[in-house]
Amino acid sequence: MDARSILGVMAMGARHGEEVLLTADGDGSDAALDGLVALLSRDLDAEE
């Protein structure tokens, strides 16, 4: 799945606590992975 689209990331349907494998290459790939890890590690369905 191409994660350049946040809609694509959201549409993959991963729930909090599920394990996903992320890979990236090219310029900025480390920063992109760090951002995705931060996003996916949060429980976005939890009430704040």
pLDDT at 14: 77
pLDDT at 47: 66
The answer to whether residue 33 is domain-embedded is yes
The answer to whether residue 13 is domain-embedded is yes
User: Which sign does the torsion angle of CA 14, 15, 19, 25 carry?
Assistant: positive
**What is the residue range of 30's domain?**
6-40
pLDDT, tens only, 4-46: 777 877 787 877 788 888 888 889 989 988 988 888 888 777 7
The answer to whether residue 45 is domain-embedded is no
Predicted TM-score (pTM) of the model is: 0.62
Number of domains in the chain: 1
The answer to whether residue 48 is domain-embedded is no
pLDDT at 48: 63
pLDDT at 36: 84
- The CA-based angle 21-44-7, given to 5 degrees, is 65
End-to-end C-alpha distance for the chain, whole angstroms: 29
The answer to whether residue 26 is domain-embedded is yes
The answer to whether residue 10 is domain-embedded is yes
The answer to whether residue 46 is domain-embedded is no
